[in-house]
Amino acid sequence: MGWLPYNTTVVLFGAVILGIASGAVGTLLLFRGRALLADALSHAALPGVAVGFLLGLALGVEGRPLWPLLLGALVAGLLGVGAVSALVRLPRVKADAAIGVVLSVFFAVGIVLIVFIQQTPGGQKAGLTQFIFGQAATMRLADAQLIAFIAAATLTLTAFTFKELRLFCFDPEYARGLGYSRTGLDLLLMMQVALLTVIGLHTVGALLMVALLIVPAVAARFWTERMGWMALVAAGFGGLGSGLGTAGSAIAFNLPTGPAIVLACGGLFLISLLVAPRRGVMADLLRRVRLRRQTLHAHLLRAVYEIAELSGDFGAPIDHAALQTRRSWSQRQLRRALRIGASRREITVDPGGVRLTERGRSAARRSVRTHRLWEHFLTTHADIAPSHVDRAADDIEHVIGEDLMHELERALLDRGVITRPGDVPASPHRIGRPGS
């Protein structure tokens, strides 16, 4: 990557590996329902950074190496998680309240210690405030190597224990019944979260580290139903968001790296929210539009069929006004229904009226059969009056599956309502002529 400055390449190296590991572990954290606990851990780690710096000075460590700061942050973060677990066991203290107490108190202690260090001789040069918002631009090669090593080790551990952790996240009691230690698996997951949170303080900071753990996992949730694939997609989103944020902050926008990474991950989340093929907003909108078109068309076919059924002549044209009256449609709704039917070649429309084609007659028969099967079920088992069942069936019949339809048909066969499979049952209520 010769087109990037050396320091940016170093930061990119550490950030991308951190993002990949965070996305994978964040998937487990999301399904475990511990997203807020990760936020508490990142805030609780801040006083550990300050204590680690002070211990480094006391031990005579030269310069400002990253490892004593991260070690202090790890210890403080684990103490914060332990404090949350202890508070939850107290009466009348819920999990969200315990997390709020630990998050605020530990973070306040961290701010006080950092301010104290800054007021000591040489404390201004410690640069500890960067752990609040992150300052990846000051990352050295040794720091990046340490971050990459811990992230890679955590990712490897996640890969080897993924099956057990996945089972634990979905059904802790079942995992316990198989002989796994619930406490041990919970501690294993939180240890991985703690390690990633601590090494991420230097890159995205205490305030934003939870976003790097959770946002890629939530974005991946839109793309797949399987947890294994979700972890891979989340890892890809975490690495991609970290890479884009780091490169963008250095080259184009001169933004702080941590917020830029989170913004890039947020952009990936927004894209997933909008265009994911099964769970995205656009896909859901298209499904709703298709269902409305399908419903409108089914109502048209049923109206034409029932009017023809009353007259006994399925070849006679049906007047537009009769259709509009039967369905209580506006002129616009009728025109739209006729366009849909004509485009499917199931009706023909001419000045004389509307006729079913052979294909349309078969489709109309299926639609009427489905509607009346469901009407009979509602009048028999749901205690709905026959005079009110027509509209009730309208709301449900378009989303029921074939298996349920077969069950309804068997029930009507047993009761003698129909004599053969595939028959169209008589309507359980009177079908009046349009306008009557």
Helix (H, G, I), strand (E, B) or coil at 133: helix
Range(s) within the chain of domains with CATH label 1.10.3470.10: 6-276
Question: What is the rounded distance in angstroms from the CA atom of residue 355 to the CA atom of residue 98?
Answer: 69
Percent of residues, the chain, with pLDDT higher than 70: 82
Give start-end residues of each CATH 1.10.10.10 domain in the chain: 284-415
Mean pLDDT of all residues in the chain? 79
Confidence of residue 124 (pLDDT cuts 50, 70, 90): low
The pTM score is: 0.75
What is the average pLDDT across 140-154? 82
Residue 266 to residues 61, 212, 269, Cα–Cα distance (Å): 39, 9, 5
Looking at residue 435, what is its pLDDT? Answer: 42
Considering 159-173, 264-278, 304-318, 369-383, the range whose residues carry the highest mean pLDDT is: 264-278
pLDDT tens digits, one per residue of 363-394? 888 888 877 777 777 777 666 666 666 665 66
pLDDT confidence of residue 387: 62
pLDDT in tens, 176-203: 887 878 778 877 888 888 888 877 776 7
Does residue 220 register a pLDDT over 60? yes
Query: At 318, is the secondary structure helix, strand, or coil?
Result: strand
Is 344:367 a contact under the CB 8 Å cutoff?
no
Confidence of residue 436 (pLDDT cuts 50, 70, 90): very low
Topology of 284-415 in CATH?
Arc Repressor Mutant, subunit A (1.10.10)
Residue type at position 189: L
Please give the CATH topology (third level) of the domain spanning 6-276. Answer: ABC transporter involved in vitamin B12 uptake, BtuC (1.10.3470)
193 vs 69, higher pLDDT: 193
Dihedral sign from CA coordinates of 175, 178, 183, 185: negative
Model pLDDT for residues 301-347, shown as the tens digit of each residue:
888 888 888 877 777 888 888 888 877 788 888 889 889 888 988 88
Task: Compute the distance between CA of residue 72 and CA of residue 122 in angstroms, rounded to an integer.
Answer: 20
- Kindly state the tokens that stand for 87: 């508070």
Which tokens hold the place of 245?
A: 């944020």
256 touches 134 (CB < 8 A) = yes
What pLDDT does residue 234 have?
A: 93
CB 326 within 8 A of CB 394: no
SS3 125: helix
Cα-based distances in Å from 132 to 16, 143, 322, 326, 406? 20, 17, 71, 67, 62
Under 8 Å CB-to-CB from 187, ≥6 apart: which residues?
A: none
